[in-house]
Amino acid sequence: MDIFVSNVKCLTERLLQKQLANTDEVIEKLFCEDFPRVTPLDPQLEESAIQLWNWAVTKRVGTAINEHQKAKVRHVACKLLYSCEPENPAEGAVRKQILMASKTGRTWLDCKKPQLADNFLSLAVKSLETLYSRLTSRGHGGADINTSKGDVEKDLLRVLSYQAESALAQENHQEAVACMQRCKDMLLRLPKETGYLSLMCYNFGVDSYNMKKHEESSFWLSQSYDIGKMNIKYSPGAEVQAKVLRLLATVYLKWDCQQFQEKALNAVNLANKESVHPSGLYLKIRILLRCGAQDDHIRAGVTELLESEVPLEVCLSTVKLLMAEDRETLAFDYLKRVCQHFESSPELGSALVLHIELLLQRGKELLGKQKIEDIITGHYTGKQLSPQTLTCLHLLLWDKASKNFEAKNFSEALQWYNYSLSFYKAGQMEPNLAKLQRNRASCLLQLQQLDKAKEAIKEAERCDPNSIFTQFSVYKIAVLENNVEKAAEAVKAIGALAQGPVTSEDRLLVAENAASNLLSLAAQIALENEQQDTAMKALESLCEHSKDEAQVLTALRCLVRLVLSTIEKASGEIRHANLDVLLSYLKMALQKVSQLSPGPSMAVEQRTEDANWFRKIAWNSALQCESSPDRMRDFFVFSYQLSQFCPPDRAVLMGQKTCLLMAAAASLELCRKSPHSDQTEQLTQALEHIQICWEVWKTLKASGDNTKDPTVILLLLYEFEARAKLNDPKVETVLESVLELDNIEIKVLETMAALAMEPPAHFPLLCKKALRIALSLHRKQPQADLARCSQCVHSLIQLSLPSGVSDVEARVLEEVWGYYEEALSIITAAPEDFPEMEILWLLTRAWNTGILLYSLAQYPEAERWCGLGMSFLRHLGSLQESYQTQVLLTDCGREGGRGQQWSVTGLSHPESNERPRPRLKLENV
């Protein structure tokens, strides 16, 4: 017990702190405490109860706690007070209990917690009965006693009504009825509570009606009316009583009109006697119609409504009700009487418009048109419709016109639009007038009345020139007149207006992409009229302004087809210009494909389909650009980039590999045609393509047999060339990679040797290394190609021979001597097959080297090299005699001077040798 008291006191003190952050947590702990029955009275607990109660009241005033928190604090305070209740509490304590229990129960009811409310309401009733018993035991003589007893009875009635409310919330109808009956029995002593109790029953009836509990609702509403009659002085009043009866009649109507027809009519008639109200008269007609009453009874009801001076709006609602219940004759007859009755009313126009609407709904168009023409006449003779009614009429006319337009009844549609136009004054400025003129123009165009359509559009431009739909109409007429310039201006205007919001337009789909839809339609119109350039401008504008990636991709497909058809017919600069346009379309397609959000499976499939379509276009276009390496490269790059959005199967990977190879080849080709100062960018691009291609190749290699695929050789050749011209030291690594290959082709080594010395590349050591290996491989062939062997030797000697006095070194001369010996062995093996001019070149270069050494006073070496040169004389054919004479002459003059130095020119040099460029045989996709 001490622990419980301590906990409560501690929590109460915490709650009373001014700056408490965790109020909800403290309240919850108090609420979850287990309350024992405490005897005798514990002053600390009673004090805590009062403090908590007062805290909840003050906090609630400042909205520092919500209704549920307030209920919990009151709950705890009340339980504390009752837990320390003495066996015979004082009257003041009982009154305190009554206050706290009743208010706690009410608070739980407000929080929609009737189960929690029940206990406190029962405690309140018990305490009230205890107090009433004590007051009664004192006698009946004192006025103060009688007053106190009256107050107690009043409090008891309120608590009993709360119990009834709680019972209903828990769907315990019988208990609620019992509680309410006790309250009714007390009304004789408490007549002033009549209005309160009547309204309480009415609220019960409303709640039951909302929950479709018609039987219970009818009971409570009947109770409300009966209680209200018990004391006229304190009843809610005739208007409220009528309201109760109207709801009761409505309950019978919703419940079962046929079964409770009489009760429903009695209730509504009684309501109208209590207090006449338009809704009561209207409800009576509803009941009569639902019950299938005869026309005479209904006619009497609508006459009563008309004679009661109800607003025109109620009369028109009645007309609509009659039409909805298929009482057409009654409806038109009543509407005629209504129009006569309100003839002088400024609101008459709404009745006339309803009359026209009903006539048109029933297919009585001639009568409807006659009424419209009468209204038009009245409009210009002082009987103008109110702005709101005129708007309703315009909507009615436009709806009729729109339906005729959709049915292709263009003349009829134009007539309805013309009716609407009749209400506008000449020169009037209004956006709706512009819209009307655009709609008229659409009809006139369909009727092939171009001049009248142009007039209508001029009016639309005057009223609303900044409307995207006005510009679209201008565009349509420009296309029909084959005015390309005007159509282009309109497309430009539509694109500019597409940046802002687009308002609704009759017969046109309006959504977030309304402007894009218009541009798409504009392209379609141009194509239908064989104006391809105009269509392309519209589609380009659509691609620029649409935020729908899928729509843009569709437009780009159309643009690609159109420009391809132009490319097929063009040549020269025009063809190149069209190819550049195609490149820009593919660039945009790549951007839009990458922006497609892959959500559902269909979205993924669509993106794949789009990417594949544009990928093939890029591939096929690249094949048409053999004379333009830069465009070929760009097309192949786009084809590769688009293929990245396709499933990476083997076919796609093969395509990616080829695209990257061809892009690298094209970049190298551009490099060869560019000045040395402009080659870095192309070479860097080529390397990027090569590196990506290596990754693709690794994936392909892992997925299947690629033994006959030349990709590795091509990649190494391209990489070697790019790095050599970039003066990249890694070029040697590339050569080593080639040498590590199985069954390396000699031609590859020869090509790499040439590339190593092709300006701006200068790698003589790598060139010689490649040539030496190539020569070695040539010699190992069963039938060596002597021409190619001689070329290898020629290049090796050309690279190694000293070019001047400063280059003469013993090591170099020994290296070159070895190449000469190689040449001699080749010539000796097949003297007749070795080219004569090549032998002559070897002779002259060896002899001249000897002469150079002689000039440097290196006589033994000079004699050795001259002798080497002379060793080639015997292998010369027709030239042997001529060169033998020259050599002898030079030799004879050796002692008298330096002798004559000579050489043979015109032989091939490695740098100028034309080598085959690696190519792939490609086909259209």
In a domain, residue 42? The reply is no
Tell me the average pLDDT of the chain. Answer: 86
Q: How confident is the model at residue 39 (pLDDT cuts 50, 70, 90)?
A: very low
pLDDT of res. 21:
64
> Dihedral of the CA atoms 479, 481, 483, 488 (nearest 10)?
-20
Same domain, 774 and 807: no
Single residue among 753, 780, 807 that ends a domain in this structure: 780
Same domain, 660 and 757: yes
Q: Do residues 841 and 904 lie in contact, with contact meaning Cβ atoms separated by under 8 Å?
A: yes
CATH of the domain at 255: 1.25.40
pLDDT of res. 92:
87
pLDDT at position 122 over 90? yes
Q: Lowest-confidence range among 175-184, 241-250, 614-623, 699-708? A: 699-708
Out of 217-226, 673-682, 827-836, give the one with best mean pLDDT.
217-226
In a domain, residue 849? The reply is yes
pLDDT at position 686 over 60? yes
pLDDT of res. 691:
96
Q: Do residues 157 and 190 lie in contact, with contact meaning Cβ atoms separated by under 8 Å?
A: yes
Pick from 448, 444, 390: nearest CA to 419: 390
Single residue among 757, 780, 803 that ends a domain in this structure: 780
Q: How confident is the model at residue 918 (pLDDT cuts 50, 70, 90)?
A: very low
By the 10 Å C-beta count (0-12 exposed, 13-18 middle, 19+ buried), 783 is classed as: exposed
Q: Please compute the mean of the pLDDT values over residues 102-126 and round it to a whole number.
A: 93
Cα-to-chain-centroid distance, residue 13 = 56
pLDDT at position 924 over 90? no
Amino acid type, 681: E
pLDDT at position 851 over 50? yes
pLDDT at position 219 over 60? yes
The 3-state secondary structure of 42-77 reads CHHHHHHHHHHHHHHHHHHHCCCCCHHHHHHHHHHH
pLDDT of res. 607:
87
In a domain, residue 878? The reply is yes
Same domain, 704 and 664: yes
Same domain, 699 and 815: no
In a domain, residue 63? The reply is no
- Alpha-helical regions (H) of 498-571: 514-528, 532-545, 549-569
Please, which contacts does 801-804 make with residues 24 or more away whose CB atoms are closer than 8 Å? 801/845, 801/849, 802/849, 802/852
Same domain, 763 and 864: no
Pick from 799, 786, 788, 798: nearest CA to 828: 786
Q: Which two tokens stand for residue 22?
A: 């965790």
**CA 299 – CA 293 distance, rounded (Å):** 10
Amino acid type, 652: V
pLDDT of res. 148:
79
**CA 298 – CA 308 distance, rounded (Å):** 15
Name residue, tokens 């402009």: 678
**CA 687 – CA 704 distance, rounded (Å):** 26
- Alpha-helical regions (H) of 362-386: 365-379
pLDDT at position 8 over 50? yes
Percent of the chain whose pLDDT exceeds 70: 90
pLDDT of res. 142:
56
**CA 275 – CA 278 distance, rounded (Å):** 10
Same domain, 662 and 773: yes
Q: Do residues 558 and 540 lie in contact, with contact meaning Cβ atoms separated by under 8 Å?
A: no
pLDDT at position 454 over 90? yes
Q: Do residues 353 and 400 lie in contact, with contact meaning Cβ atoms separated by under 8 Å?
A: no
Quick check: helix, strand or coil at residue 772?
helix
Q: Do residues 756 and 724 lie in contact, with contact meaning Cβ atoms separated by under 8 Å?
A: yes
Rg (CA), the chain: 53
Q: Which two tokens stand for residue 310?
A: 């109800």
The 3-state secondary structure of 211-266 reads CCCHHHHHHHHHHHHHHHHHCHHHCCCHHHHHHHHHHHHHHHHHHHCCCCHHHHHH
Q: Do residues 257 and 215 lie in contact, with contact meaning Cβ atoms separated by under 8 Å?
A: no
**CA 662 – CA 647 distance, rounded (Å):** 22
Phi, psi dihedrals of residue 158, rounded to the nearest 5°:
-65, -45
**CA 819 – CA 796 distance, rounded (Å):** 7
Number of domains in the chain: 3
**CA 102 – CA 169 distance, rounded (Å):** 17
pLDDT of res. 435:
93
Which of the pair, 716 or 12, is modelled with greater confidence? 716
Single residue among 256, 275, 294 that ends a domain in this structure: 275
Amino acid type, 498: A
Q: Please compute the mean of the pLDDT values over residues 578-593 and round it to a whole number.
A: 94
In a domain, residue 860? The reply is yes
Q: Which two tokens stand for residue 736?
A: 């080593």
Q: Which two tokens stand for residue 87?
A: 């066996």
Q: How confident is the model at residue 36 (pLDDT cuts 50, 70, 90)?
A: low
Q: Which residues contact 658 (CB under 8 A, 6 or more apart)?
A: 920, 922
The secondary structure of 115-131 as a DSSP string is HHHHHHHHHHHHHHHHH
Q: Which two tokens stand for residue 149?
A: 């007893």
Instruction: Quickly count: other Cβ atoms within 10 Å of residue 650's Cβ.
Output: 11
Q: Which two tokens stand for residue 631?
A: 């465009």
Convert 539-575 to b/e letters by CB count within 10 Å (16 or more is b).
bbbbbebbebbebbbbbbbbbbebbbebbeeeeeeeb
Q: Please compute the mean of the pLDDT values over residues 868-878 and round it to a whole number.
A: 85
In a domain, residue 446? The reply is no
Same domain, 724 and 767: yes
pLDDT of res. 18:
63
Q: Do residues 878 and 763 lie in contact, with contact meaning Cβ atoms separated by under 8 Å?
A: no
In a domain, residue 162? The reply is no
pLDDT at position 833 over 80? no
Q: Which residues contact 477 (CB under 8 A, 6 or more apart)?
A: 441, 445, 450, 453, 454, 457
Q: Which two tokens stand for residue 386?
A: 């109110």
Same domain, 841 and 718: no
Same domain, 675 and 765: yes
Same domain, 817 and 717: no
Same domain, 808 and 722: no
Percent of the chain whose pLDDT exceeds 90: 52
Same domain, 667 and 719: yes
Convert 43-64 to b/e letters by CB count within 10 Å (16 or more is b).
eebbebbebbbebbeebbeeee
pLDDT at position 554 over 60? yes
pLDDT at position 1 over 60? no
Q: How confident is the model at residue 602 (pLDDT cuts 50, 70, 90)?
A: low
pLDDT in tens, 383-434: 888 889 999 999 999 999 999 999 999 999 999 999 999 999 877 878 889 9
pLDDT of res. 345:
84
Going from the C-alpha of 129 to that of each of 152, 808, 861, the distances in angstroms are 8, 136, 145
Domain of residue 263: give its range: 192-275
In a domain, residue 142? The reply is no
User: Global pTM?
Assistant: 0.64
Pick from 440, 407, 410: nearest CA to 422: 440
